Chain A
């Protein structure tokens, strides 16, 4: 070898080394380029084997990493020359080939951490797997830190100089670092993702809970605001922190200014609340009934007050709940109920007394009138007439008492369609002596004005309405002893007809207003029965109407009579009773009270008629079968046989014979149409001679 050749060889060697170094540097550069891309482990490995293949003259390259779960080295990336030349070719590598410990080169390298360089497998045979695809002639296997191994092989034997080997070991470390970084990146990304996911989950759950809380809070707020009771929340010091809408309605909007103050300011006697607070400190909660509060404008309010402590989990009182129940309406209702019950009880009692009384009065009246027919002596006659008129007066009072008592009467059947305006005019005329004549006699005057709706019909009994209205009008007149203005309005709407009676009289205090409809209650002294307005109340209520009053001392009173309305054109017609000449007829008279029977018999006889009288219902029935009568009078309530039965039998035999029921039960049937029951007329006791004569004239 000459120098020239030596030099050339040397030069070639230098150039080869130069090329090799350039190759190593290029590869390093390409490897470094991977760093900022932050790829995953798998992708990094794929890129790595590709770079190795592209930058070296090896034909196959693969990376296997330790899989802790499999306890073996598993291929992560493998790349072969065919793939490099034509990407379409799918070279059938055993990518799922696994290296278990000990037996093969890869495992040895991994476990020892020492690289293996085999220049020729013929001289240095390697253990081979049956399934292996690649049969390398030379092989390099480098450990990649403690992560796995890098395999490189070619189909021809190669020389690996020491320098080359050093370079590859270095490269193996760099590749190992890159994979390690990728692994870290991946773990970091996973952790980040988990963290992100968890944060998102938590955020969502938090938002959800927040929304639920808000909703629950809103519902609570609504409940508090919509509760019909006044609700106040107090803090632990007993100071108002919240007032609900009902409380504001109850106490006026200004009450919201009380927030920050103690609720005792609303109590008429603030001490009541202070005592309540003290009590609740001991007993936790308490209900106080019938407490006076002062409302807006100084108005007094009757309330029930409930106070309870609001303890926290530890049982310490964090605040108080104060509930105010407005009792004014309830109280008004129970007052009304009480009054109705009282009136009903009184009515039943009065009705019973009146019935017995009526029978007695009847006897007195009948006997007196019969005596009058026989007595010639003037003095005795005038005495008897006195008795007669006293009995008539007593009967009148009784009748009103019975009107009041006849509450159970069937209102519908007596009611007809009446023109309310007509009744109003009637009553005004009828009471004229009281509000005009007698007032003028004393130099006073009452100015009465009517303001009537064009048509105003109601379903009510005309006589009941007349009496009720008269009672109210007379009450108004009595309230104006010094004169004044009396106004009567009528009005109609869809449901009812209303009569308003307004006076400018002395007015009434609230305790008087409360009792004004009670029977026997009177402010006019003993001269008054105290029945007028209670009867009016009863009459109107019997027709499903109502009578109301508003009054203040000194400002006069206002009464409203509410009546059920009718739309029909039909008008009530009172039965016509034109006078007729009567000739002697045969009359049947049935009454279980012998005395009354005798009286009536005498009266009818005196009118020139023939009378068959019996106190026995059975006998009466047989008489009806055997004899012909032109008129039948019967008592309504008798033992064994009732008046209704008698009427039915009479009508069965001869439908044209009029039947008149006489009742001690007052006027409740008087205007009722009982023709279906076979009754032509109902008369209430006591019967005066005059009345009896008129009836005989009418029916015979």
Chain B
């Protein structure tokens, strides 16, 4: 464990632009102007946002020329999360092809979780919808860090998962460092608000979270919905039922969420193609 924490300590510090973006994410009063300012100073990001605003996805082929129009077109929260994904990807670059595939899987899962969590929060606003989205987006950040910085360990867990046909988070149990530990550590080191620690550390066992359980449970439910698309047969319905009961989500409401799994999956696929 000591070795691990030494390795964790050796991780690169938070890049400046990411730090500023996280400031915007946490600030309820942050405006589009703040975001625009941030993007303007990052050429790659700027180009990407403009490209996305002009894509068929948003229906403005070539019509959007300024960044402020682009933010209006795509939406403040969406641009915020696109920036988050972009900057995080830049902060944790991968080289090999199979790592790229893994990364894609992780990000798609994160985006789906985020979308589902936001949708759940829209109907049952235990937390704000955009907060749920950001929490969902970052909940499995631990995996991304492991993929890049503990690649060997990640591959071992991946092999165990594939051989035994169990989810990654079950496979890593009893094999040292877990993605929830890494996630919590990252949240602490980056100075994210407490709710991010709890979500990153406890989204597989929300009952154990010492506080802010509704937020954790919401992301856990979003995570399970995302899993339903990826590996549907592995989702424990008992777990779902108890989470729904705690969040006061009636069965028919849950069914509505579950019915959107495929649609959300396609949206995320499209978004991913746009991002790359």
Indicate if the CB atoms of A254 and B246 lie closer than 8 Å.
yes
Indicate if the CB atoms of A257 and B214 lie closer than 8 Å.
yes
Q: Does A602 sit at the interface, judged by CB under 8 A?
A: no
Q: Does B245 sit at the interface, judged by CB under 8 A?
A: yes
Contact partner of A261 (CB less than 8 A), chosen from B126, B246, B249, is B126
Indicate if the CB atoms of A265 and B244 lie closer than 8 Å.
no
The distance from the CB of A169 to the nearest CB of chain B, in whole angstroms, is 79
The distance from the CB of A300 to the nearest CB of chain B, in whole angstroms, is 8
Q: Does B212 sit at the interface, judged by CB under 8 A?
A: yes
List of 5 A-B pairs having minimum Cβ-Cβ separation, nearest first: A298-B245, A294-B248, A265-B124, A297-B245, A261-B126
The distance from the CB of B126 to the nearest CB of chain A, in whole angstroms, is 5
Interface mask (A260-287 → B, CB under 8 Å = 1, otherwise 0)? 0110111110100000000000000000
The distance from the CB of A235 to the nearest CB of chain B, in whole angstroms, is 14
CA distance A257 to B124 in the complex (A): 13
**Interface CB pairs A-B, < 8 A, 17:** A254-B213, A257-B126, A257-B213, A257-B214, A258-B126, A261-B214, A262-B125, A264-B124, A265-B247, A265-B248, A266-B248, A267-B248, A270-B123, A295-B248, A297-B245, A298-B241, A298-B244
Indicate if the CB atoms of B250 and A298 lie closer than 8 Å.
yes
Number of A-B contacts (CB under 8 A): 42
Contact partner of B214 (CB less than 8 A), chosen from A258, A293, A295, A296, is A258
User: A267-325: which residues lie under 8 A (CB-CB) from chain B?
Assistant: 267-268, 270, 293-298
Interface mask (B194-229 → A, CB under 8 Å = 1, otherwise 0)? 000000000000000000111000000000000000
Q: Which of B125, B212, B248, B250 has the most CB atoms of chain A within a 10 A radius of its CB?
A: B248
Residues A294 and B250 in contact in the complex (CB < 8 Å), given A261-B127, A265-B124: yes
Contact partner of A265 (CB less than 8 A), chosen from B126, B212, B213, B245, is B126
CA distance A297 to B247 in the complex (A): 9
Indicate if the CB atoms of B248 and A298 lie closer than 8 Å.
yes
CA distance A294 to B124 in the complex (A): 12
Residues A257 and B245 in contact in the complex (CB < 8 Å), given A262-B125, A294-B250: no
| Additional A-B contact list (12), CB under 8 Å, known A298-B244, A298-B250 | A257-B213, A258-B126, A261-B125, A261-B126, A261-B127, A265-B124, A265-B126, A266-B248, A270-B123, A270-B124, A294-B245, A296-B245
In the bound complex, residues from chain A placing their C-beta under 8 Å from that of B123 are: 270
Residue of B whose beta carbon sits closest to that of A270: B123
The distance from the CB of A324 to the nearest CB of chain B, in whole angstroms, is 13
In the bound complex, residues from chain A placing their C-beta under 8 Å from that of B126 are: 257-258, 261, 265
Indicate if the CB atoms of A268 and B212 lie closer than 8 Å.
no
CA distance A125 to B123 in the complex (A): 112
Residues A257 and B248 in contact in the complex (CB < 8 Å), given A264-B125, A265-B126, A270-B123: no
CA distance A261 to B247 in the complex (A): 12
User: B111-135: which residues lie under 8 A (CB-CB) from chain A?
Assistant: 123-127
Interface mask (B246-257 → A, CB under 8 Å = 1, otherwise 0)? 111110000000
In the bound complex, residues from chain A placing their C-beta under 8 Å from that of B250 are: 268, 294, 298
A interface with B by C-beta (< 8 Å): 254, 257-258, 261-262, 264-268, 270, 293-298
In the bound complex, residues from chain B placing their C-beta under 8 Å from that of A261 are: 125-127, 214
In the bound complex, residues from chain B placing their C-beta under 8 Å from that of A294 are: 245, 248-250
In the bound complex, residues from chain B placing their C-beta under 8 Å from that of A266 are: 248
The distance from the CB of B206 to the nearest CB of chain A, in whole angstroms, is 11
Residue of A whose beta carbon sits closest to that of B247: A265
The distance from the CB of A241 to the nearest CB of chain B, in whole angstroms, is 15
In the bound complex, residues from chain B placing their C-beta under 8 Å from that of A258 are: 126, 214
Indicate if the CB atoms of A257 and B212 lie closer than 8 Å.
yes
In the bound complex, residues from chain B placing their C-beta under 8 Å from that of A262 are: 125
Residue of B whose beta carbon sits closest to that of A294: B248
The distance from the CB of A276 to the nearest CB of chain B, in whole angstroms, is 15
Label chain B's interface by main secondary structure.
loop
CA distance A594 to B246 in the complex (A): 74
The distance from the CB of B137 to the nearest CB of chain A, in whole angstroms, is 20
CA distance A262 to B244 in the complex (A): 17
Residue of A whose beta carbon sits closest to that of B245: A298
B interface with A by C-beta (< 8 Å): 123-127, 212-214, 241, 244-250
CA distance A261 to B124 in the complex (A): 9
In the bound complex, residues from chain A placing their C-beta under 8 Å from that of B212 are: 257
CA distance A265 to B250 in the complex (A): 11
CA distance A118 to B244 in the complex (A): 113
The distance from the CB of A318 to the nearest CB of chain B, in whole angstroms, is 21
Q: Which of A258, A262, A294, A297 has the most CB atoms of chain B within a 10 A radius of its CB?
A: A294
CA distance A295 to B246 in the complex (A): 8
CA distance A475 to B235 in the complex (A): 42
CA distance A298 to B125 in the complex (A): 17
The distance from the CB of B216 to the nearest CB of chain A, in whole angstroms, is 10
The distance from the CB of B205 to the nearest CB of chain A, in whole angstroms, is 16
Residue of B whose beta carbon sits closest to that of A268: B250
In the bound complex, residues from chain B placing their C-beta under 8 Å from that of A264 are: 124-125
In the bound complex, residues from chain A placing their C-beta under 8 Å from that of B125 are: 261-262, 264-265, 270
CA distance A261 to B126 in the complex (A): 5
In the bound complex, residues from chain B placing their C-beta under 8 Å from that of A267 are: 248
CA distance A270 to B123 in the complex (A): 7
CA distance A266 to B125 in the complex (A): 10
The distance from the CB of B31 to the nearest CB of chain A, in whole angstroms, is 19
The distance from the CB of B122 to the nearest CB of chain A, in whole angstroms, is 9
The distance from the CB of A644 to the nearest CB of chain B, in whole angstroms, is 63
Q: Which of B123, B127, B213, B241 has the most CB atoms of chain A within a 10 A radius of its CB?
A: B123
In the bound complex, residues from chain A placing their C-beta under 8 Å from that of B244 are: 298
The distance from the CB of A57 to the nearest CB of chain B, in whole angstroms, is 90
In the bound complex, residues from chain A placing their C-beta under 8 Å from that of B245 are: 294, 296-298
CA distance A283 to B200 in the complex (A): 44
Q: Which of A257, A266, A267 has the most CB atoms of chain B within a 10 A radius of its CB?
A: A257
Residue of A whose beta carbon sits closest to that of B250: A268
CA distance A418 to B249 in the complex (A): 53
CA distance A473 to B214 in the complex (A): 48
Residue of B whose beta carbon sits closest to that of A254: B246
CA distance A588 to B250 in the complex (A): 74
The distance from the CB of B65 to the nearest CB of chain A, in whole angstroms, is 38
In the bound complex, residues from chain B placing their C-beta under 8 Å from that of A268 are: 248, 250
CA distance A295 to B250 in the complex (A): 10
The distance from the CB of B187 to the nearest CB of chain A, in whole angstroms, is 20
CA distance A264 to B123 in the complex (A): 9
CA distance A295 to B247 in the complex (A): 9
The distance from the CB of B254 to the nearest CB of chain A, in whole angstroms, is 10
Residue of A whose beta carbon sits closest to that of B248: A294
Residue of B whose beta carbon sits closest to that of A298: B245
In the bound complex, residues from chain B placing their C-beta under 8 Å from that of A257 are: 126, 212-214
In the bound complex, residues from chain A placing their C-beta under 8 Å from that of B241 are: 298
CA distance A258 to B247 in the complex (A): 10
CA distance A581 to B135 in the complex (A): 97
Residue of A whose beta carbon sits closest to that of B128: A261
In the bound complex, residues from chain A placing their C-beta under 8 Å from that of B249 are: 294
CA distance A298 to B241 in the complex (A): 9
Residue of A whose beta carbon sits closest to that of B215: A257
CA distance A298 to B244 in the complex (A): 7
CA distance A257 to B127 in the complex (A): 10
Residue of B whose beta carbon sits closest to that of A293: B248
CA distance A682 to B15 in the complex (A): 101
CA distance A296 to B247 in the complex (A): 9
The distance from the CB of B123 to the nearest CB of chain A, in whole angstroms, is 6
CA distance A258 to B127 in the complex (A): 9
The distance from the CB of B238 to the nearest CB of chain A, in whole angstroms, is 13
The distance from the CB of A305 to the nearest CB of chain B, in whole angstroms, is 15
CA distance A266 to B124 in the complex (A): 8
In the bound complex, residues from chain A placing their C-beta under 8 Å from that of B127 are: 261
Q: Which of A261, A262, A297 has the most CB atoms of chain B within a 10 A radius of its CB?
A: A261
CA distance A268 to B250 in the complex (A): 7
The distance from the CB of B7 to the nearest CB of chain A, in whole angstroms, is 35
The distance from the CB of A277 to the nearest CB of chain B, in whole angstroms, is 13
The distance from the CB of A457 to the nearest CB of chain B, in whole angstroms, is 46
The distance from the CB of A404 to the nearest CB of chain B, in whole angstroms, is 41
